[in-house]
Every structure is written in C-alpha cells, then in structure tokens.
Amino acid sequence: MKLHKDYYGYYYPNQSQRAALAGLLVVLFPAFFPNLFGPLGRASPSIFSEWNAPKARHLHLLNPALLLQSSVEQQSKLWSPLPNQGWKHCLEEPKSLSLTPKGSTGYIQVFLDGGLNQQKMGICDAVAVAKILNATLVVPHLEVNPVWQDSSSFEEIFDLDHFIEVLRDEVSIVKDLPSEFSWSTREYYATGIRITRIKTAPVHASSDWYLENVLPILQRYGVAAISPFSHRLTFENLPKNIQLLRCKVNFQALAFVPHIRELGETLVNRLRYPPNRNQDAASDSQDGTNQIEKQGAGKFVVLHLRFDKDMAAHSACDFGGGKAEKLALAKYRQVIWQGRVLKSQFTDEELRNQGRCPLTPEEIGLLLAALGFNISTRLYLASHKVYGGEARISTLRRLFPLMEDKKSLASAEERAKVEGKASLLAAVDYYVSMQSDIFISASPGNMHNALVGHRAYMNLKTIRPSMSLLGKLFVNKSMEWSEFQHAVLDGHKSRQGQIRSRKEKQSIYTYPAPDCMCQA
C-alpha cells in the first residue's frame, strides 16, 4: 500500500485506501467480537443475530380478544377450586421390611445434573436406592447447571435439617463422608477411572440391578459413587414401600430453605392483596360492585412461560422473527449441539398440526383469554428468560396488563439472596406456583411435569394446554374468535387438574396416583 506524506512529515492513506481499510475492519469485526454476532451462550442471545422484533402473528384472534367481556358465570366457574376427586394421601402406611439385612452396607454418593426439577427427581431416586441397598446416603452433590451455570448446592436450595429429620426413620443420611473416605470427592472421580464409581447404571435400572452391581462394591470398599444418576431408577416392579418413600421425599422432605419460602410468601401476598385494592373496593362501593372482577378478587394464576432460546432452536418451528431469526436459530443449533440437532424435515404447518411447536407468549395469551381470563386477571410470570425479550412478551402484556414477576413485585434488596442464581429463582417460582389458584405451563418440560404432579397430589387446579389442538387452531388463519374460543373451551374441559392414574413407564413424580395416593 502506497502512503502519502503530509505537511508535517506523517504518512497517511489516500481516500481509496481508507475505504479499503474500513471494509477490512467490517469483515474482521465479527472475528474479534464473536459474541456480538453469534449466540454462543444459551442464556444470552447475540446483539446482532435477530434484527427483526417479533410481531403479533394472530391479529384475527388478538383484536377480538382485547375486547373480550367475560360473564359472571364464566368467571365463577373459572376460579372455582377442584371438587374432591376421591383420592387421599397414603404416605403413612406401615413400613414394610427392607430388601436387605439391617445395618448400613456403606455410603452412597450421587452427582446430579440438570435444573432444579431434574435434581429434585434425582434426590428422590437417590433416597430410594439407598433404601434398597440399606446404605447411608451422603447428601447429594448438585453439579454446576450446564445451561444457566448455577453452582448452588443442596443446602442452598433445600432445608437440609428438615430433609434429614423427615426421613430419619426411613434412611440414614449424612452431610459428609467420614474422614476415612475423605478421598471420595467429585474431583477424584473426574481425574480418571475409579473402581468405586458406577458409570454404567442404565436408564430406569431395576432394584435387582443395584443389588447385583452396586451392593458388592459397597460391601468391599464401603463407598460407591453413582454418576451419572438422572433417571437411573425404574418406575415399575418396585415394592410399595419404595414407591411411597419416593413420594415422601418429593412431597414432604424436600422443602425450600426459609429465605426462599419467605420471598415466595411475600410475592404471594402482594399478588393476592395489591396496594390499590382498597381504592378499588371504595370505587366499587360508589359505582356498584363489579361482579365479574369480584369473582377473581384475591386470586391469581401462574403462567410458566417456557420459551427460551434452547426450546425455540430445538423445535425447528417458525416463530415470526423472519429470515434473520431462522438463520440465528440454525446457527445456534450448530454451535450448541454441533449438528446433533438438525432442522426438522417437516414444514412449520406440519409441526404445528402435530403439536410439536412450543406456544409463544402471544399464543398462550390467546389461550388464557379463550379460557375466560381477562384484563382484571392477576397473572404471575414464572420464567427465567424469554427468547425475544420484551418484544416477544408485549402482546401478552396487552392482554393481561396486571402481569407481574419477581422483579415487579419485590425490590432488589428482597431478591438479593436469589438474584443471579437460576436454581434459587426457579425455587421461588415453584413456591409461588404451588400457592396459586390456577397454574398453567406454556409447554411441557421438567417444571411443568413437577408442578402437574405436585398440584395433582394437593388437588389444585392445573390447566394442561392441548398442544396438538392449539397447533391446528393457530394454523387456521380464517378462524373467527367465537369458533376459536368454543374449540379451546371444549378441548380443555378434562385438562384442568383431573387425577390421571399413572400408566406403565410414566413418571411417579408427574402422575402420583395410585403410587402416592389411595382412593378414599
């Protein structure tokens, strides 16, 4: 490159050379700052990867929904609690004999990955395995959450003393290994093949598998570490006392630490008794009581809005963000899963007709409106991060202006102990969800499954969206609101918390009857 000399003796490029340098910088900029152009992290979308803010896709339904007027009868039916379904808890039945002779056979360690609800299921299974082996359980080790990078330990999430006390007569539990086994750490097992680590536990292993493969190691070495452990115990052909023990852990022993429960209770109180409620009551007394709003007074619904970038990319569906969004999600699939998850061979319409597309915030808002929720409904949003941010949520907020979340209900000081920790934030949402009058999840997943099971156990109203029905309804762009609402109401009559008995291979944590419950 030939440079020109100026008056002071400095060399500088001419105009064409400056243009060439600028072009080179544009080309090289993404290489030096990849995070700005590519979604390399699961929790943080890139700045420039999605240019087009998502717009409402169902205006033919949205406009009538915004003008919707619910009847008093509809509101009364919507908020009424579930009737008694003829089931009761049966966790306090006489304990049967253990499967092996009395006396601890050694110490069991488990290393659990996944999010909060997957870890909860793993803890329940770990207690059951310790019971099967008559072993002493070391408080489970929670791995760093691979999605949200959360390193919260068991005792930071769950009330450890309560956990040990509730299970005191069932299984021996210790907080730490005795000094002679202090070498048996997570770091020890990460540095090589170890004879005391069991890596071969099959998914849904039987009790016999543990007796044949883990018990001999316990008897010989006094300790055994099982990793990986997620979904490593069957739901079938187990003694009733083992099934009941899993239920006892899930529904009684696993209580959150006090500060999570306190924050959760604060949020619940502010949802039920908002500051302007007294003013509203005075206005009602002057203008006449609003019977429709009265039906929902002091009540709230929790919406678990599971619409993160992982789910959007994995589904291969079109969410209205245009070509830029499609390219960004395709790149995300390639970067995160290295080609293991490819774009589906089905068209977007075929995927929706099969119920395989997660509901967007707009679509879940239309479902709620069709079910009878309205602008006076207090809606709590249980969600970590929503793909598309506020632009994606704006339509939902138009339908439900009284929508709240942790940040809108609690101050930064009140949230300080849980802020930035995904598992603790999820625990707060779980607590609030269990206190709500109605719970609904936008798409299936571990949080959905855990709360469906827990609320069924407590006989609480839980609406399960029919994904296949809704997919077909949203594909039909000529459908009028009245037809849409009728189809939604008709299709969800039996999806509002009715007890469903567990079928073979289904999870005891999602379907607690009949393993955790007895017919009254």
Instruction: Dump pLDDT digits (tens) for 151-184.
Output: 999 999 999 999 999 999 999 999 999 999 999 9
**Strand partners of residue 462:** 439
The pLDDT assigned to 18 comes to 55
In this model, does residue 471 exceed pLDDT 80? yes
The pLDDT assigned to 13 comes to 52
Average pLDDT, the chain: 86
Distance CA 105, CA 221 (A): 10
Mean pLDDT of 72-86: 92
Model confidence at 343, pLDDT cuts 50, 70, 90, reads low
123: which DSSP letter?
H
Distance CA 234, CA 505 (A): 8
Cα 30-36-40 angle, rounded to 5 deg: 100
Residues constituting the chain: 520
The pLDDT assigned to 43 comes to 38
Tokens linked to 425: 């934030």
Q: 86: exposed, middle or buried (C-beta count within 10 Å: 0-12, 13-18, 19+)?
A: exposed
Mean pLDDT of 323-340: 82
Distance CA 318, CA 74 (A): 34
Task: Please write the tens of the pLDDT for every residue from 242-275.
Answer: 999 999 999 999 999 999 999 999 999 999 999 8
Domains of the chain: 107-255 (3.40.50), 259-274+296-307+358-519 (3.40.50)
Q: Which residue has the tokens 């009728």?
A: 486
Percentage of the chain modeled with pLDDT above 90: 64
